[in-house]
């Protein structure tokens, strides 16, 4: 598939998908299948909306138990990647996965526990 340059996504329902040049997984450093960039909004300390972009990667090792990623992983495994024939399927599956990824939040309890481990030198 050719390298296509596109503008950054601007609307909440847009996303930019890259399957050609993907970074290593930030969780395990393994190669990734794709990276997606999408708009997000969060509240700052004053309660004002801040708009920005988030990125998420699809990793065969880390995402294998994620139901939202299962069909995408199958597409890459069975079809051996993206072809003209499965491009519409990829788009639909990616949109569904991105919507799931958008809804993810930080596990505050886990973050607090890991911060405490780090502070004590155990992490």
**According to the 3-state scheme, what is the secondary structure of 34-80?**
EEEEEEEEEECCCCCEEEEEEEEEECCCCCCCCHHHHHHHHHHHHHC
pLDDT at 58: 94
CA distances from 22 to 15, 34, 45, 55, 103 (A): 15, 6, 33, 11, 22
pLDDT at 24: 95
**According to the 3-state scheme, what is the secondary structure of 8-29?**
CCCCCCCCEEECCCCCCCCCCC
Q: Which residues lie closer than 8 Å to 15 by C-beta, 6 or more apart?
A: 9, 36, 37, 38, 94, 95, 98
Q: For the segment 28-87, what is each residue's pLDDT rounded down to a tens digit?
A: 999 999 999 988 888 888 999 998 988 999 999 999 888 889 988 888 887 677 777 777
Residue 97 has pLDDT above 70, yes or no: yes
Helix (H, G, I), strand (E, B) or coil at 108: helix
Q: Which residues lie closer than 8 Å to 19 by C-beta, 6 or more apart?
A: 1, 33, 34, 81, 82
Share of the chain above pLDDT 70, in %: 88
Report the C-alpha gap between 33 and 16 in whole angstroms: 14
């Amino acid at each position: 598939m050719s390298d296509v340059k596109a503008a950054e996504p601007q609307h909440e329902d847009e996303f930019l998908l890259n399957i050609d040049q993907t970074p290593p997984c930030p969780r395990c450093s393994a190669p990734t299948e794709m990276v997606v960039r999408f708009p997000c909004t969060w509240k700052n300390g004053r309660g004002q909306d801040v708009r920005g972009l988030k990125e998420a990667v699809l990793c065969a090792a880390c995402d294998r138990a994620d139901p939202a990623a299962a069909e995408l992983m199958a597409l890459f495994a069975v079809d051996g990647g993206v072809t003209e024939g499965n491009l519409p399927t990829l788009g639909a599956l990616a949109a569904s996965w991105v919507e799931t990824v958008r809804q993810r939040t930080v596990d505050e309890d886990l973050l607090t526990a890991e911060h405490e481990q780090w502070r004590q030198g155990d992490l």
